[in-house]
């Protein structure tokens, strides 16, 4: 069980790399309207089982992408090579999320909700454990 928690946490952390520019843009537009932030908080608690399963599946794939690029980043010769690798990793992770059927915004919202809600974390952990 700790291994699953660590995996999901690692996947969530690695997704922070995915949409940092998108998340910042979303935060800027949300800051313009406080009601948007309040609505987003309410929406994060109403995820369907299908969305949570999509998140679990995408998280597994993102963890694999993250591992692959982490090794490459460690061996990169210079900062420009690292920057290019990060760009490639971000693009690949965004593609994984979109292929899962979720938007990056939905994926990030589920990730944030999981970090704040232990019951939701357990639901997603159960989905990761179950074979499809």
pLDDT, one tens digit per residue, over 103-114 is 999 999 999 999
Question: What would you measure as the largest C-alpha separation in the chain, in angstroms?
Answer: 46
Q: Read off the pLDDT band of 11 (50, 70, 90).
A: low
Selection from 54, 45, 90, 107 nearest residue 82 by Cα = 90
Q: How many CB atoms lie within 10 A of CB 9?
A: 15
Q: Read off the pLDDT band of 130 (50, 70, 90).
A: low
The whole-angstrom separation of Cα 29 and Cα 11 is 26
The whole-angstrom separation of Cα 96 and Cα 68 is 14
Predicted pLDDT at 131: 56
pLDDT tens sequence across 70-125: 989 999 889 999 999 999 999 999 999 999 999 999 999 999 999 999 999 999 99
């Amino acid at each position: 069980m700790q291994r699953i928690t660590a995996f999901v946490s690692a996947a969530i952390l690695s997704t922070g790399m995915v949409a940092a520019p998108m998340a910042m843009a979303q935060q800027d537009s949300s800051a313009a309207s406080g009601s948007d932030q309040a609505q987003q908080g309410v929406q994060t608690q109403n995820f369907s089982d299908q969305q949570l399963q999509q998140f679990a599946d995408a998280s597994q794939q993102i963890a694999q992408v993250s591992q692959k690029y982490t090794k490459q980043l460690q061996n990169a010769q210079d900062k420009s090579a690292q920057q290019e690798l990060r760009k490639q990793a971000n693009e690949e992770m965004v593609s994984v999320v979109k292929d899962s059927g979720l938007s990056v915004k939905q994926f990030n919202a589920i990730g944030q909700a999981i970090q704040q809600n232990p019951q939701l974390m357990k639901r997603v952990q159960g989905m990761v454990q179950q074979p499809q």
